[in-house]
Amino acid sequence: MTLSEEFLTAYDQQLRTDAETPSAIAVERLGPLRLVTFAGGRGFVTYQDLGGAEAQTIAQWVVDALAYYRNDPAIVRVEWKARGHDHAPGLHEALLRNGFTPDDPESIMIGPATALNADVQLPSGISLRRVTAEQDIRAMSAMQDEVFGNSGSGGSADAILRRAARDDGMELWVAEHQGTMVSAGRLEPVPDTEFAGIWGGATRAEWRGQGIYRALTAARARAALMLGKTLIHSDSTEYSRPILERYGLLRVSTTTPYYWGR
């Protein structure tokens, strides 16, 4: 078994469980599927694998899963999280037939936390810090929404604040220039596993390519090591993937989110 295969096996066994959705307010089972409900009217479909099911069975699961969420008027958006290494015949076509729209695929990156613990020279005037106050969290979320092109409704900030109130180990880190946030990201240690996740990495376009994201990632890796986590995982865009690869993380698979909106 190659190192990449070892990492992928650990990912499937340790992370594709309830550990994947620590802030869920409800979880229902449909065959191998986990139909998750989050606060704010968000549904989320995930699973460890599809058990070798064929296209007809998978297509019916898509219909039934969507019906479950349609029957709850509070649900306004559903994400179906697909992985590139799964045996899932007909899934893409079934999702499209039922009104789901695929987003851009991302790379599933995994590697040792020690590899990311590097000394990075920050540009002049840039500082890093961990944020916990509501005002800072809202400013961080607004910056990330702007970078990712999301609606600035405040829903992202509300979700992060609810998560922070759970005190489950999540850490929020930002880079600032003269009091303005220019980059940000989360660290999410996964209980009872070797893993911590790095998520939400966003850097304003004019500040990219200067080592800020690398420094922010190194700070989160050091925090993960302090918590006893030895492996880092991330769903990475094409902006962050090359940076993580340079520090030894491996692209073990891909993940594609499919979205349905009421």
- Per-residue model confidence (pLDDT) at position 156: 82
Residue 153, pLDDT above cutoff 80: no
The predicted model gives 15-32 an average pLDDT of: 94
Four-way CATH pick for 111-254: 3.40.430.10, 3.60.20.10, 3.40.50.10420, 3.40.630.30:
3.40.630.30
Distance CA(253)–CA(55), nearest Å, equals: 22
Residue 23, pLDDT above cutoff 90: no
Q: What ranges do the domains of the chain cover?
A: 17-107, 111-254
pLDDT band for 86, please (50, 70, 90 cuts). Answer: very high
Quote the strand ranges of the chain, DSSP E: 26-30, 33-38, 42-46, 77-83, 101-102, 106-112, 126-131, 171-177, 180-189, 195-203, 231-236, 250-261
Question: What percent of the chain is helix, strand and coil (3-state, nearest 5)?
Answer: 35, 30, 35
Average pLDDT, the chain: 94
Query: Do residues 204 and 147 make contact, with C-beta atoms less than 8 angstroms apart?
Result: yes
- 211-231 burial: b if 16+ Cβ within 10 Å, else e: bbbbbbbbbbbbbbbeeebeb
Summarised one tens digit per residue, pLDDT across range 161-191 is 988 988 889 999 999 999 999 999 999 999 9
Query: Do residues 173 and 196 make contact, with C-beta atoms less than 8 angstroms apart?
Result: no
- Sign for the CA dihedral angle at 161, 165, 166, 172 comes to positive
Distance CA(251)–CA(241), nearest Å, equals: 8
Q: Which of 26-30, 93-97, 147-151, 170-174 bottoms out in mean pLDDT, i.e. has the lowest? A: 147-151
